[in-house]
Amino acid sequence: MYSKSVSKAYAQVDLESQLAGASPHELISMLYDGANNAVLRAKIYFEMGNIAKRGEMISKAINIIDNGLRTSLDHEKGQHIAGDLDRLYEYMSRTLLEANRKNSPEQLNSVSEILTNLSITWKEIEPKKRLVNNG
Mean per-residue pLDDT of the chain = 85
In order of their start, the domains of the chain are 23-121 (1.20.120.340)
- Give one DSSP letter per residue of 9-39, joined into a string: HHHHHHHHHHHHT--HHHHHHHHHHHHHHHH
pTM recorded for the entire structure:
0.81
Query: What's residue 126's pLDDT?
Result: 81
Answer yes or no: is pLDDT of 93 > 90.
yes
pLDDT at 117 > cutoff 60: yes
Tens-digit pLDDT profile for residues 16-59 = 555 566 788 889 999 999 999 999 999 999 999 999 999 999 99
Q: Is the pLDDT of residue 86 over 80?
A: yes
Q: Are the C-beta atoms of residues 85 and 78 closer than 8 Å to each other? A: yes
